[in-house]
Structure 1
Amino acid sequence: MTLSEIKCCIIIPSYNNQNTLRRVIDSVLPYADGQTVIVVNDGSTDDTKYILSSYGVKLRVLNNFRNFGKGYSLRRAFQEAMLLGYEHAITLDSDGQHLASDIPAFIEAAHSNPGALIMGSRNMAQEGVPGKSSFGNKFSNFWFKFETGITLPDTQTGFRLYPLQPLRSMKLFTRKFETEIEVIVKMAWRDVPIIPINIQVIYDKSERVTHFRPFRDFTRISILNTWLVILTLLYYLPKRLILQVRQKGFWNLIKQEAIKPGESNLDKARSIGFGFFMGILPVWGFQLLIGIPLSIFFRMNKVLFLTAAHISIPPFIPFIIFASYKFGGLFYEKGVEISAFDNLTLESIHLNFVQYMLGGTMLAIAAGIAGFLGSLLLLAIFRPAGSKALEAN
């Protein structure tokens, strides 16, 4: 299997990597199989331009008149590859950390998984991997899973094989290192299969030059993830859940999650209890924005959590607010008395804000505990073998 059989080119973005650039290009050319090797010189100020000129027609060189960023270079190279009629593109960095000998593994994975995005997966635990790289990768993996529901071992690798068809209609807004996160999240949202494969990696401190600026680039990535999380909560997560409900039916989905193996009754019960807690907690409008990330962080069952959190759907909201006010009166009562449900108004709640907030918080805690204990009891009755130890056997 060769690059030509899957209509694939090779893309190498580069910025001031004169120490390793020639070695990377020389290692890649034997695997090119006559296909185009696109090198994007992102406004380098070292000997990059001279090195690239020495290859003549062996390379297709794109020169940025100044340093725009890795993401901009990738986007420009993708456009070039599509204009040349390619259906796939392999990207790898010019800092020498990737080995061209892994290219056949990408080709084979692409052939076995048509239309998939193939992601190189580095061994981040190996000796020589910078601590900040390992931390950054874990951080990125967590938010990628939250935004897409997909678990990947390495979301920051630059060694990838992209299907180009999804990129034709995809709008990418970033142009620095964060582009590599934006593109895989948006591909996942378009249901592009994402396949990780193991690759080799070399971190040579004497040669490798990284242009990742921890504070500035980490800030950019955080801003991007904030925006992607908002889109996830407002659209893509509900879309995924609605699709699951349509495919399986609402009650069948709940039943499936309740009996799903691999989770103990305790895990399921705390997901339900936490859902009741967040559903009643008086932070209206932010309950899911707060609760969903926490449920993912604490490895809860998201379907059970979201189902329980919907205790605060509109028909129940007035009753929850009234109960919160009354519950708060057990601990604090200095405002205007609300004696009946019919004189519950926004003005009366405003006058009794402290009582309402205290009562709502205490009621949320009580409901969470009750939901946890009640669901744990029911699960123990109807799912007696619901411990991980018993399921493992």
Structure 2
Amino acid sequence: MTNNNSVGFAPCALIPVYNHSLVLEKTCKALLDLNLHVILVDDASDNACKAIMQFIADRYEDVSLITRATNGGKGAAVKSGLRFAQQKGYSHGIQVDADGQHNLADVSEFISAASREPNALILGYPAYDTSVPKHRYYARYLTHIWIWINTLSFSIQDTMCGFRVYPVTASNVLINSSKIGDHMDFDSEFVVRWYWAGLEIVQRETKVIYPADGISHFRLLKDNALISGMHAKLFFGMLWRIPILLGRKIRARFP
């Protein structure tokens, strides 16, 4: 379905999918109940997951299914979804994971925040319950430290949470002008480059759970290597931006 309100606030939901189907229809139904068009991005899932996605798209008029020919990673799927959303005239896309981690009760609040601040990237930062694996909980702090270094700021609370609202046009401009990673490095790198561009960020706390039957596609060696390389790349990008970043901090403190 094409959204004809290309000028005003017109949000949609964006779900990157790679072999996550257990709660996918339930997630889509909850988003549809909020009057959000849902864009499913199939990142070359297996046949069983493809069949479920096709069933959902056939059953619900306000679900669009786009299929990537090869598995490119979470970031590649999000990029494909954002480009599709712009083609269809949507102003904002709320990214929701397919595995049930995100608290859909917060979707309305995030959408409202985007409507109040339409130029801002609305970032979720997680409030974990006891389901979070301890190694993941503590490992996030290493990324936090690198983000603080690469932005010269403590203002960003979390860059790894995928529950967020993208202003579609500005996001595609940034993606098209920067070489942002296609895998698990995408979420953090996108936020840093958004910050570097001087664009607005609004942060909202959200409950995040790790389902007992959840499936993780985090590749321990490959994705850790990609994330480490991403932080190193951003560090060297930060060095020549130091005058710009410090100047921004000074102007904010002494307007």
Q: TM-score range by the shorter chain?
A: 0.7 to 0.9
Picking from 77, 82, 107, the partner of 1:78 is: 82
Picking from 219, 223, 242, the partner of 1:217 is: 223
Q: Does residue 25 in structure 1 map to residue 55 in structure 2? A: no
One-letter amino acid matched to 2:183: K
The aligned counterpart of 1:135 is 138
Using the TM superposition, give the Cα deviation of residue 6 of structure 1 relative to its aligned residue in structure 2, in angstroms: 2.4
The aligned counterpart of 2:244 is 239
Counterparts in 2 of 1:153 and 1:46: CA distance versus 1, 3 Å: farther
TM-score after normalising by structure 1: 0.58
The aligned counterpart of 1:193 is 200
**What SS does the aligned partner of 2:244 have?**
helix
Mapped partners of 1:101, 1:120: distance in 2: 13
Instruction: Give unmatched runs, 5+ long, in structure 1.
Output: 254-393
Using the TM superposition, give the Cα deviation of residue 14 of structure 1 relative to its aligned residue in structure 2, in angstroms: 0.7
Aligned runs of 1:281-360 on 2, under 5 Å?
Answer: none
The aligned counterpart of 1:311 is none
More helix by share: 1
Mapped partners of 1:197, 1:242: distance in 2: 27
One-letter amino acid matched to 1:184: V
Using the TM superposition, give the Cα deviation of residue 46 of structure 1 relative to its aligned residue in structure 2, in angstroms: 4.7
C-alpha offsets along residues 140-173 of structure 1, whole Å, 9 cap, x if unaligned?
Answer: 2221121122433322111100112322322233
Maintained 8 Å contact 2:180/2:190: no
Counterparts in 2 of 1:172 and 1:30: CA distance versus 1, 3 Å: farther
Mapped partners of 1:211, 1:140: distance in 2: 19
One-letter amino acid matched to 2:120: A
Aligned runs of 1:1-393 on 2, under 5 Å?
Answer: 6-31=9-34, 33=35, 35-55=36-56, 56=58, 57-124=61-128, 126-148=129-151, 149-170=153-174, 171-205=178-212, 207-233=213-239, 235-243=240-248, 247=251
Mapped partners of 2:242, 2:43: distance in 1: 36
C-alpha offsets along residues 12-44 of structure 1, whole Å, 9 cap, x if unaligned?
Answer: 00111122222222222211x2x4210011111
One-letter amino acid matched to 2:51: Y
**What SS does the aligned partner of 2:33 have?**
helix
Where relative contact order (Cα < 8 A, 6+ residues apart) is larger, the structure is: 2
Using the TM superposition, give the Cα deviation of residue 228 of structure 1 relative to its aligned residue in structure 2, in angstroms: 0.4
Using the TM superposition, give the Cα deviation of residue 213 of structure 1 relative to its aligned residue in structure 2, in angstroms: 1.2
C-alpha offsets along residues 115-138 of structure 1, whole Å, 9 cap, x if unaligned?
Answer: 1111112113x3111123212321
Using the TM superposition, give the Cα deviation of residue 178 of structure 1 relative to its aligned residue in structure 2, in angstroms: 0.5
TM-score after normalising by structure 2: 0.87
One-letter amino acid matched to 1:71: G
One-letter amino acid matched to 2:33: P
Mapped partners of 1:139, 1:20: distance in 2: 31
Counterparts in 2 of 1:172 and 1:38: CA distance versus 1, 3 Å: farther
C-alpha offsets along residues 171-221 of structure 1, whole Å, 9 cap, x if unaligned?
Answer: 23311111111111111111122111121222122x211100122101101
One-letter amino acid matched to 1:99: N
Instruction: Give unmatched runs, 5+ long, in structure 2.
Output: none
CA RMSD, aligned part only? 2.2
Give me the identity figure in percent. Answer: 27
Mapped partners of 1:215, 1:88: distance in 2: 34
Aligned length: 242
Counterparts in 2 of 1:244 and 1:197: CA distance versus 1, 3 Å: closer
Mapped partners of 1:201, 1:67: distance in 2: 26
Maintained 8 Å contact 1:24/1:94: yes
C-alpha offsets along residues 58-108 of structure 1, whole Å, 9 cap, x if unaligned?
Answer: 311011122111110001111111111122110010011112221111012
